[in-house]
Amino acid sequence: MGAVLAAMLTTMFSFMGTEIVTIAAAESKNPGQQISKATNSVIWRIGLFYLVSIFIVVALVPWNDPVLAAVGSYQTVLERMGIPNAKLIVDIVVLVAVTSCLNSALYTASRMLFSLGKRGDAPAVSTRTNGSGTPYWAVILSTAAAFLAVFANYVAPAAVFEFLLASSGAIALLVYLVIAVSQLRMRQKRVIAGEKIAFRMWLFPGLTYAVIVFIVGILTIMLFQEAHRVEILATGLLSLLVVATGLLVARRRKQQKLGAVVLN
């Protein structure tokens, strides 16, 4: 079960970010249609690039082949098929994939920073946009943070990568847990308000509750695993810090509004 749990964390780390398609679709001309199209494209791409490719690997190479751990699954398959320059091909694919991931990460980080700035939870400079509506300062700040991560990885490559991989798995679970709980609360409020819901989730709310129970179960198992206990505790402390900061900011805003009302 320890190996299954480790693989699950790596999988969550790999899939984290698929939810950002809704952010990009929201900026399109027809957000409703584009969100549905983008979500469906994510499903078939995961099926093709993950499930089908891994099926081909396990169909051609024994799971306990020592070469898999030493060389890598895709390079091993290409070499067994007699394709020349297998390592170069895999390296190019990985480079393109990482570049694409960085591009989407910068886009998402800049839009989230812009949104936080609009609500007063980030520096006001992050809300500045150019003629085309791009929050350029938010992009610059996000790029600067990315360079800091690159520098840290250069100084201590093994430690930084392992920490990010481990912590991102736990944070991804926490993010999806918050999304599931938010869906329950937001949909309940919309139904009570009498709003018409254009997009309906399959098997709601049972499937949402099942996802919540599954994620809480995984986090609980990680808490009792010595190898993952530190990251769970660190993620928990970070979450408490973020929540406490949010409550303090909200309280300060409320006091400022009350003060403005009294002055008026």
Q: What is the pLDDT of residues 89-105, one digit of tens each?
A: 999 998 998 888 888 88
CA distance 215 to 220: 9
Does residue 166 contact residue 231 with C-beta atoms inside 8 Å? yes
201-237 pLDDT, tens digit per residue, is 788 889 999 989 988 888 888 788 777 787 788 788 8
Shortest CA distance to 213 belongs to which of 172, 180, 175? Answer: 180
- What number is the average pLDDT over the span 10-29? 72
> What's the chain's average pLDDT?
83
Query: Would you list the domain boundaries of the chain?
Result: 157-264
Helix pair 157-192, 206-224: axis angle to 10 deg: 150
